[in-house]
Structure 1
Amino acid sequence: MERYDLLYRLYEDFDTDAIRDLQTFVDVFPAVDSRAALGYWQDARDELDARKAEVRDSFAAGDTLVEVAATADRDHAFTGLDLHSKYGRAVNVLVLDVDETLRSAGGTDNEIPRETLHALTEFHEAGVPIVICTGQTLENVKGFLIQGLGNELVHSGAVSIVYETGTGVFTPGHGSQTKRLLYDELDEEMIRVFDEVRSRVLPEAPDDVAHGIHLQGNEFNVTLKPNFDVGSPEAERVIDRGLVYLVDLLGEAVATETDEVTTRGPDWARAYFADDDPEVEAVLESEGATVDLGIDDVPDEVASVFERVDVAYYHADAAEVGSLELNKPRGVQAALDVLGLDDPFLAVMGDSKSDLRVMEWAAENDCGIAAAPEHSSAAVLDHVRSTDGLVFDRGGAAPMLRTIYVLNLLAEL
């Protein structure tokens, strides 16, 4: 029987909603000492076992279809089938952004929901490695992953963390390859530019910036964060002004590094990065910081350094400079190398420009699929909708993970 016919019969003939609800209750039921509560849990477990047995006995591939029924609703299951029909293979590694993807300040109180953590645990138990790919610091990511997934899973050898948007990769359990500092591979010129910006960014900040920001504890990138709630008007104000200051400081550092003895460095930086990124241009305009220069007015030697630098703006959240040579695709490739995945097929989930680069790399190399939350940047949504249309609700990473899990189950048939 074809996979389509099997799924149609499964969802037509059986109460899969009840199976899924019972499975969720059994899986995520909190640990309690109440005898009555434990009785409810055991009753649910008994009913679940009975309903699963009915499905299992009705199909030759009953074990797999029971898992499908307990994992996803009809729509997500048939989406998984569409993915299998298109690609003909299972996902063998997850590449996941954290903020506004696995968790959301607007949808999950900035915590990774329990059902999402449970889905990740199921992938781990199925032998699918997990690559967390984030702009956050390593220590911060390690902390909430261990808290959510447990120390044993995080240190199992099948979890890798690409941190600070690709400046380093941490894969516990891999000996000398456990921590790879990718920024050490940059040339001395680029290292000096970043050292200069980092050493000056706080001591020389103007008062209207200095009193409202702090420097994120990165190993390499220079990231300004607000001393206010992310998304608030105060955070928007200080990050917009901080971005202008950071661009100017970068311009001075590059002008010095290239022996351009001039005060034009900030103007060149404003002209170059306004031309490079519409979001940066919009902030410069709103702050009255545009310059009457075009990109052709930037000296070639200076532009050749600028083109290796990533100026990133996250509305009311962060302003950052990083190296374009240290990006998420490079970090992911390093993680895949450490994990020993020679023929990867990724499921990439993210919301920002840095995540888009991983999605595009996977598409160009025919080695993955992409999914994004509905509030992602326009460029990310354009890419995802033009490929497989895997857009999910804010804070709704779990159903998308279940769709991918169904794809993997169907690949086993």
Structure 2
Amino acid sequence: MRDPVGRHTRRSGEYVRPQQRIYLDDYCRASGDFFASGTYYHQDVLRGFPAGQKVEAELVPEPHNPWDARAVALDVEGQRVAYLPAVSAKMWHDVIRGWNTAGFAVYCGAEINAWEGGDAKCRVGLTVPKWDWETLVALAEAVGLRVSWEAALADLTEAQRTLLRRDRGYSPDERVIRAMQKKRAHHPEFRWGAEDDGDLTERMPFWYGYFVREQMREEARQEEELVQYARSVRSGLLRAFTAEVRRAREREREQARLLRQDQDDRALRLQHEGRRVSDIAAELGLSPKQVEAAVSRARRAAGITVRGNAGLQSDRRRDAAEAVRLKRSGMTRAQVARAMERSADTVDELLKDGLFYAAPEDHPERLALARRCLGLRATGLGKEEILGRLGVSRKQALRAFRDASLLDAER
């Protein structure tokens, strides 16, 4: 009578070897090797092989082993020579049984080795590869252990599944383990440890706990992906909002620029009409300084370049002389302002400058202030310090500074 989930007879435990073979060497990446266990009890068989010989070892599960219900033996040429260590056997037992049930005997490469024992006798052992964990998991899933575990999990209540997850599958609530153990006959793909193997947690199939932890890792990964997605959506919305705010600010700046440009053009046009700075300021709702700045910007935008100091002095003298000429021709100041496209305030200053430039001696107070300013400039003082030392209003001090430049140019 065959065991329906293995290749062992139920009564005798005799192993019936499947006809097909699967070689772990074709799938696993070895990360070293280790000495198999139990070789001490199989020296007679092992001594039949020369040391260093490469052999093919079959992994044989022993569900009826009286010392370890999840033992995995190693057979070479059909003879028992060793065992996997108990920790490894716990992981490999259900995997090997699954492949046996599917009709495959599982083999791996191994090597016979010999050394001198403590009793001076030559001992023979078996070295097997250390298989990589990823391949073991892949083989377990390929043989259907994950599907079987999901079926076993479905037999539990929601409360029991919660308790199983709470301890991440390492040390679940004993009530849950007992519930799974009672239904172990429904899921023969998994082998429980014998009573002598320890408490219920130790006897629970290895893959029960592993798949619980794997599921929790997958759920955590999915949750992290959701969190990352939410963050990316939030970040995208924030970028879109920030971009919209930036565009709105750019539109506001553009509107402000257009309004200022319109204001500058109006200021320049009013000046050309001969309006005073104070009148322009009142009409546009600006201060006199803002009007002057607006006119300056408008002149630059119109392509009227600002000339150097010498050029400005020459232009000033020319404009002053022109203002005097137009005034003497019978024009009113407003008419002169319109003719020269200057404000009335500017024309007033040009007329005063024109009379002074024509005959400085006729304006002794202004001439004296200009000479005093010229003397201060000769000492190397800065402009602002000179203006402060003149002891007059800033408007008069600036005019004296211009006059000093004129006197200096005429020397």
TM range (shorter): under 0.3
Q: Which protein is richer in helix relative to its size?
A: 2
- Structure whose CA Rg is larger: 2
TM-score normalised over the length of structure 2: 0.17
TM-score normalised over the length of structure 1: 0.17
